[in-house]
Structure 1
Amino acid sequence: MISVIKPSTLCGITCLLAAATTPLSHAADRPNLVIIFTDDQGYADLSCFGGKHVMTPHIDQMAKEGARLTSFYVAAPLCTPSRAALMTGCYPSRIDMSVPSSIEVQMKHTEGRNFPVCLAGDGRGLNPKELTIAEVAQSAGYKTGMFGKWHLGDQPEFLPTRQGFEEYFGIPYSHDIHPKHKNQKVFKFPPLPLLEGEKVIEIEPDADYLTRRITKRAVDFIKRHKDENFFLYVAHPLPHGPLAASPEIKKEYAQKLKAKGAAKGKGRGKSGLFPATIYEIDWSVGEILKALKEQGIDDNTIVIFSTDNGPAAGSAKPLRGKKGSTFEGGQRVPTVIRWPKGIPAGSVNDKMLTTMDVLPTFAKLSGAKLPDDLVIDGKDMMATLAKGAESPHQYFFYAHWGVLEGVRWKEWKLRIADGVVALYNLNQDIGEKHNVANEHPEIVQQLQEAMKGFEKDMKANVRPAGVVENPKPLSMSAE
């Protein structure tokens, strides 16, 4: 096994690689990993998840060749805490990323109102001492690259290049965090930077071409590292608003709609910018899968498609709630995983799994041994994916703005919010319409006790976020 330095003593990539205790196996013996992560995409915003308002042929094909995960959760219903959980395998509360904006930035941008995502010139971010998937990958000899939206801190100390990624191209936070934000009078955001590594190479990049530019870089990364093991993280800024799509894809989507309508002899379905945005994301997935096949490495590459939280503009049907909510629609996300060598094709898995499970699962598959004293919340999900075993989790906890609001156990979900104690049977009531708390007081009590235990654990084992003094927004002149 390959040892990984624990967070408390992380000393950079040199130390991580020096910790190897056995020779690395050949690239073909271990899978590559590609994570494609979108922004604000709803449970129904894929055709293969029932969406009639979108066309996603490449992701649908990916589902046919892999598995649809229908009870897959993110650890928070908003960008920053959700992405922090994916990177570290931890609930955001454990790594102090539930409400990440620093007091100074809150005062500057929001007149003192608490704000749960990293902003421009933020003094808080993901602590560089935390162990990320990228650092696990590097410790196992993998090449690492990230292209897209980071949103875990924009100061140099927090950027992807300080968190295990050898290559980075993208934006440090959401593409609406710039002077054209609808609430700019309150926020006073600086211009949006586009980074290459840690260098700002462009200001206010055209959002219409972000998906294409990110995809081009991802495909190039695959081609350059086809003979090596690699971890590739593709984090699309869309369909987070403002919506955008390239002129090329808008034209193609309109033609597809017209042909579809003519073939059926009736209405052409949904037009507009949102479905075109989703169609371009699907195009990107197709380009990445095509590149893997052309290089002859698709059979031994795990590809995960998911999103950071529920929809703002899209649809979460049949779920209740959306982005920012601890109802299912805020945290249960459409997820497809493909790995011909390890996951049965055409399968549907409804076991409770989370983005936090990706890190420990990948660590085991790559041969990296996590530190014995590292406390994380994710579990190895390979037996569930490959053999249909039960969920590795007894409970899953729902929280927003750092406040615990719910817990799931098997088919039962307890939600305590807005002064209401509600119990739902998700197998019978996926839309959370019928509160059956009065009918099952023993389950309510059990889940309340589980929530108390979780809160106690979080308080006892919290690790601090990263903090820098005198943070400054990134600019072309900054080093």
Structure 2
Amino acid sequence: MLKGLFSKKKETVPPNVLIVVADDLGYGDLGCYGAVGFETARLDQLAADGVRFTSYYSGGVNCTGGRAALLTGCYPNRIGMGGRSFPPGGFTGLNPEERNLATMLAEAGYVSGYVGKWTLGSHPHFLPNNQGFDYWFGIPFSHSFLDQEVEDAIYLTSSLPLMDDENELEEDTDPAFLTRRCTEQAAEFMESAGDNPFCLVVSHAMPHRPLALTEEFDGRSKYGIYGDVIEEIDWSVGALVDVLAVLEKLENTIIIFTSDNGPALQSEEVLGYRSGTPRPYRGGKGQTLEGGVRVPCIVNWPARIPGGQVSDEMVCGMDWLPTIAGLAGVELKRTPEIDGVDIFNHINGEKPPEEPVREEVYYYRDNRLQAVRQGPWKLHVYRGDWDVEKPEKSDYMLFNLDSDTTEESNLADQNPELIDELAKVADRARRELGDSVHGRRGRSTRKAGEVSMG
């Protein structure tokens, strides 16, 4: 329960932080990113009044990886989260010893809340209230584990618990009401924070399949149920913005909206409805084509970030922890190592640094390095259908993402020097984060948390 929870108070209040994460939202699934058939007016307005990123990478190809990257500032592989999916009844999860947004911001007097889908370990030891968050409300794992909905799931459960801190509020909650209930609880958290600076992560369960929504939004869009679900998420974001305005906290709140990974792609014939889209990119959730990891990201902060910005800087989910640390006045130690960088100087409206945010991006699927990017060039070094451990140069696939968004025109044969250069980038990734294809373990990777099964 929230009433009377917070008693911390500081004379100087740093910016509030509101992070909203959609689940399996594709790059082309917002109006400001070209969506058609449904409307996202509130998110589009946030983008118009802030920054919209066009080369933003979630940090992981699935639900767990994307959230782990955002919370810890690390590639999922660095902290044992690569390719992980934590089912009900598991004994592993995000190591509570890892620094995350909540534990870091506690140093600056913040109160922190996590509302929505967790999916970083379902055992009580790994839930948000044991990861530094002052409050949490939501579901410990994906609603897709419900056996009545997903027949081919590896792990099944017959119930979906709804948690309020350590208390099981409901044994089996209805996913159709998750977006609305999480919105209401997030609003209550912000109201309860009082004069304390707060960090709130709202992690939606939608539009992850199976899709569910309230009757109010059923049939709202021309696109079908997927568009209806997105319009309800847009309503949710707008409702939270309105609460901040009423509380007179909007001006000094940095709002970040993004997705954990790309869309889950399947044909309309199979699903019975149209799914999300990575347009103009190719690929989706679980893949290291651009559509699997390049996702929407909008940042809005009326007090410090000028509107109308569109940034093509290579920004990743890992960057928010060091960026927010700088804004909160927290001295961020680089040990244990993280992968994110502070990007605020690139979006604050002042003359940006001459150097880019980052030179390189690594693309992992589970613990296999599959591709690297440097500038516009992306080199695929491993695909699942390659039956070799160390492909020859002729097996590499090289694409210029500026001119080939669908990664279909392989330029490897015409660019042997670029292949050599990007192969060195790939080797740096293997040294740092490992690569199971080559039997490499990263020099500074850490293990996931684990509890005894006894």
Same fold (TM over 0.5): yes
Of Structure 1 and Structure 2, which has the larger fraction of its residues in helix?
Answer: 1
| C-alpha contact 2:378 2:399 (8 A) present in aligned 1 | yes
Aligned with residue 366 of structure 1, among 328, 351, 370: 328
Give, as a single letter, the amino acid of the residue that structure 2 aligns with 1:461.
S
- 1:162 is displaced (CA, Å) by 0.9
Aligned with residue 283 of structure 1, among 210, 232, 235: 235
| C-alpha contact 1:406 1:414 (8 A) present in aligned 2 | yes
Q: Following the alignment from structure 1 to structure 2, what is the Cα–Cα distance between the partners of residues 283 and 446? A: 46
Q: Does 1:456 align with 2:447?
A: no
Give, as a single letter, the amino acid of the residue that structure 1 aligns with 2:307.
A
- 1:373 is displaced (CA, Å) by 2.4
| C-alpha contact 1:381 1:391 (8 A) present in aligned 2 | no
- 1:370 is displaced (CA, Å) by 1.8
Q: Does 1:143 align with 2:111?
A: yes
Give, as a single letter, the amino acid of the residue that structure 1 aligns with 2:416.
P
For residue 144 of structure 2, give the secondary structure of its aligned residue in structure 1.
coil
Q: Following the alignment from structure 2 to structure 1, what is the Cα–Cα distance between the partners of residues 288 and 152? A: 28
Aligned with residue 33 of structure 1, among 4, 17, 26: 17
Aligned with residue 364 of structure 2, among 374, 399, 414: 399
Give, as a single letter, the amino acid of the residue that structure 2 aligns with 1:175.
H
For residue 470 of structure 1, give the secondary structure of its aligned residue in structure 2.
coil
Q: Does 1:468 align with 2:451?
A: yes
Partner of 1:228: 196
Provide Cα deviations, 1:75-101, integer angstroms capped at 9, x if missing partner. 1110112211111100111101114xx
Aligned pairs (5 A) from 1:73-112: 73-99=57-83
Percent identity over the alignment is 40
Aligned with residue 398 of structure 2, among 419, 423, 441: 423
Q: Following the alignment from structure 1 to structure 2, what is the Cα–Cα distance between the partners of residues 405 and 340? A: 39
- 1:249 is displaced (CA, Å) by 2.0
Aligned with residue 295 of structure 2, among 313, 333, 341: 333
Partner of 2:439: none
Q: Does 1:167 align with 2:164?
A: no
Judged with a 3 Å threshold, the aligned counterparts in structure 2 of structure 1 residues 95 and 241 are, in CA distance, closer, same or farther, namely same
For residue 381 of structure 2, give the secondary structure of its aligned residue in structure 1.
strand
Aligned with residue 68 of structure 1, among 43, 46, 52: 52
Partner of 1:322: 284
Judged with a 3 Å threshold, the aligned counterparts in structure 2 of structure 1 residues 66 and 273 are, in CA distance, closer, same or farther, namely same
For residue 298 of structure 1, give the secondary structure of its aligned residue in structure 2.
coil
Q: Does 1:298 align with 2:273?
A: no
For residue 180 of structure 2, give the secondary structure of its aligned residue in structure 1.
helix
Partner of 1:408: 373
Q: Following the alignment from structure 1 to structure 2, what is the Cα–Cα distance between the partners of residues 433 and 85? A: 29
Q: Following the alignment from structure 1 to structure 2, what is the Cα–Cα distance between the partners of residues 400 and 343? A: 34
| C-alpha contact 2:145 2:156 (8 A) present in aligned 1 | no
- 1:310 is displaced (CA, Å) by 0.3
Partner of 1:310: 262
Judged with a 3 Å threshold, the aligned counterparts in structure 2 of structure 1 residues 207 and 406 are, in CA distance, closer, same or farther, namely same
Partner of 1:53: 37
| C-alpha contact 2:254 2:299 (8 A) present in aligned 1 | yes
For residue 241 of structure 1, give the secondary structure of its aligned residue in structure 2.
coil
Partner of 2:392: none
For residue 433 of structure 1, give the secondary structure of its aligned residue in structure 2.
coil
Judged with a 3 Å threshold, the aligned counterparts in structure 2 of structure 1 residues 449 and 343 are, in CA distance, closer, same or farther, namely same
Q: Following the alignment from structure 2 to structure 1, what is the Cα–Cα distance between the partners of residues 346 and 98? A: 27
For residue 437 of structure 1, give the secondary structure of its aligned residue in structure 2.
coil
Q: Following the alignment from structure 2 to structure 1, what is the Cα–Cα distance between the partners of residues 128 and 303? A: 30
Instruction: Say which is worse superposed, 385-394 or 207-216, in terms of deviation.
Output: 385-394
Give, as a single letter, the amino acid of the residue that structure 2 aligns with 1:401.
D
| C-alpha contact 1:144 1:230 (8 A) present in aligned 2 | yes
Q: Following the alignment from structure 1 to structure 2, what is the Cα–Cα distance between the partners of residues 140 and 186? A: 42
- 1:186 is displaced (CA, Å) by 5.1
For residue 164 of structure 1, give the secondary structure of its aligned residue in structure 2.
coil
Partner of 1:133: 101
Provide Cα deviations, 1:146-181, integer angstroms capped at 9, x if missing partner. 110010001111000011111100001111112324
| C-alpha contact 1:120 1:190 (8 A) present in aligned 2 | no
Q: Does 1:274 align with 2:209?
A: no
For residue 37 of structure 2, give the secondary structure of its aligned residue in structure 1.
coil
Judged with a 3 Å threshold, the aligned counterparts in structure 2 of structure 1 residues 447 and 204 are, in CA distance, closer, same or farther, namely same
Provide Cα deviations, 1:176-195, integer angstroms capped at 9, x if missing partner. 11232423685342421111
Give, as a single letter, the amino acid of the residue that structure 1 aligns with 2:453.
N
- 1:392 is displaced (CA, Å) by 2.0
Aligned with residue 432 of structure 1, among 394, 399, 407: 407
Give, as a single letter, the amino acid of the residue that structure 1 aligns with 2:66.
S
| C-alpha contact 1:45 1:53 (8 A) present in aligned 2 | no
Partner of 2:437: none
Give, as a single letter, the amino acid of the residue that structure 2 aligns with 1:339.
W
Residues paired across the two proteins, number: 415
Give, as a single letter, the amino acid of the residue that structure 1 aligns with 2:250.
D
Instruction: Say which is worse superposed, 460-469 or 389-398, in terms of deviation.
Output: 389-398
Unaligned runs of 5+ in 1: 1-22, 100-115, 258-269, 472-479
Instruction: Say which is worse superposed, 402-411 or 364-373, in terms of deviation.
Output: 364-373
- 1:410 is displaced (CA, Å) by 1.2
Provide Cα deviations, 1:110-152, integer angstroms capped at 9, x if missing partner. xxxxxx3111111110001000111111111001011100100
Q: Following the alignment from structure 2 to structure 1, what is the Cα–Cα distance between the partners of residues 331 and 345? A: 18
| C-alpha contact 1:42 1:334 (8 A) present in aligned 2 | yes
Partner of 2:272: none
Instruction: Say which is worse superposed, 414-423 or 169-178, in terms of deviation.
Output: 414-423
Q: Following the alignment from structure 2 to structure 1, what is the Cα–Cα distance between the partners of residues 209 and 152? A: 15
Provide Cα deviations, 1:321-347, integer angstroms capped at 9, x if missing partner. 011110000000011110122222011
Question: RCO higher in 1 or 2 (8 Å CA, sep ≥ 6)?
Answer: 1
Partner of 1:111: none
For residue 231 of structure 2, give the secondary structure of its aligned residue in structure 1.
helix
- Using the size of structure 2 for normalisation, the TM-score is 0.88
